[in-house]
Amino acid sequence: MDLIEKINKAKEYIVEIDNSPINVGIILGTGLGTLADEIENKRIIKYEEIPGFPVSTVVGHAGELIIGELMGKKVLALNGRFHYYEGYDMETVTFPIRVMKALGIENMIVSNAAGGMNPSFEPGDLMIIEDHINFIGNNPLIGKNYDELGPRFPDMSNPYYKEYIKLVKECAMDLNIKIQQGVYVAISGPNYETSAELRMLRLIGGDAVGMSTVPEVIVANHMGMKVLGVSCITDMALGDSLEPLDHSKVVETANKAKGKFVTLIKEYIKRM
Ligand code: HPA
C-alpha cells in the first residue's frame, strides 16, 4: 500500500467515528497528556484500532487519539507520539500528522519535554519554539515526494507560525505565566547528551534539546499547516555543569509544569 492509500484508510476509520470539522490538532508530549482530560464530549480511539497507526512504547505516552471539544473549539489530540529512537521509520513517526491534514486540520499545536541549554532557563519553564535545528540525521521527506501532499523542496523560512507565537505570548502575559522563547534542537536519542555534545548544540544556536517534534513539524510544513510549538523544560542540559538525568526526572518535572501548560494552551485555543 502506498502512503496516500494508508493515510486514506486511517482517515476513513476516524471519519466513521466523528466527521465534524476539526479546528486544531494537538500533539501531547511526555507528561503533558492531562490536557486530554479537559476535552469534552470526547471520543477516544486507541492507536491500535486505527489502520496504519503503530503502538507507542514510551512511558508517559498513552497511545490514544481523542476527538472532542475544548474551549468551544473542535480538537483532535494525540496522546502519545512515535519517536525515531523507537525504531520506527520517519514515515511512521510522522504518519499521524499526515492523517490530521487529511482530516482537514490546518492548525497544529506540538508539545514536548526538553532539556534547557539556555542558562537563563529553569526546569519547569515553558518555551515557545521559535525555530528548530534538525540534528536527527534523517528527514521524513527523504524518498518519493507525493506532490498532492506538498512540494519536493518545501520552504522552511517560517516553520512556526509567527501570528500564533504572538498570540500565545499574549495569552501567557495575561495569565501571568512565565514564558521563554528559543530554538529547539532535535537529536535522535535515545541516550541523553554528553557534556561535549551539549556544548556543541548550544554553540550551533540551540536553547533546548529533545528527541521529537522536528520530524512532525517538517511534515506539517510540507503540507502547509500552521504550527505552534511549546517545550516544557524538564531539566538543565548544560555542557559545563551536567548532572545525571533519567526519564523519571523528565516525567516528574513535566508533571509539575503541566498545570500551567494546560492553562496556557486552553486560553490559546479559546483565542485562536
Ligand atoms: N535531552 C534530550 N531530550 C530530553 C531532555 C534532554 O535533556 N529532557 C527531556 N527530553
> How much distance in Å is there from the Cα of 27 to the middle of ligand 1?
17
Picking from 120, 140, 87, the residue whose alpha carbon sits closest to that of residue 208 is 120
Q: What are phi and psi of 240, to 5 degrees?
A: -90, -10
**Nearest one of 198, 237, 189 to 87, comparing CA atoms:** 189
Closest by alpha carbon to 20, among 65, 73, 74? 74
Residue nearest ligand 1's atom 7 by CA: 115
Q: Decide whether any atom of ligand 1 lies within 6 Å of the 114 Cβ.
A: yes
Sequence spans of domains, the chain: 3-271
Strand positions, DSSP E, 29-186: 40-46, 64-70, 73-79, 107-116, 126-134, 179-186
- Ligand 1 centroid vs 208 CA: distance in angstroms? 8
Q: Is 235 in the pocket of ligand 1 (CB under 6 A)?
A: yes
C-alpha cell, 141: 521527506
Q: State pLDDT tens for residues 221-239.
A: 999 999 999 999 999 999 8
Half-sphere exposure of 78 (CA within 13 A, CB side): 31
Look up the pTM and report it.
0.95
pLDDT of residue 147: 96
Residue ID of nearest Cα to ligand 1 atom 10: 114
Residue spans of the chain under pLDDT 50:
none
CA of 203 to the centre of ligand 1 (A): 17
Q: Which of 235, 246, 256 to probe ligand 1 with, by most ligand atoms within 8 A of CB?
A: 235
Residue 113 Cβ contacting ligand 1 at under 6 Å: yes
Superfamily grouping for domain 3-271 = Nucleoside phosphorylase domain (3.40.50.1580)
Ligand 1 lined by 25 (C-beta under 6 Å) = no
| From 135, 184, 185, 192, mutation site for ligand 1 pocket: most ligand atoms within 8 A of C-beta | 192
pLDDT of 57: 65
User: Does ligand 1 have an atom closer than 6 angstroms to the CB of 210?
Assistant: yes
Is 267 a pocket residue for ligand 1 (Cβ < 6 Å)?
no
pLDDT of residue 1: 77
Sequence-separated (6 or more) residues with CB below 8 Å from residue 213: 27, 29, 110, 112, 129, 132, 184, 186, 229, 231
Q: What is the pLDDT of residue 60?
A: 58
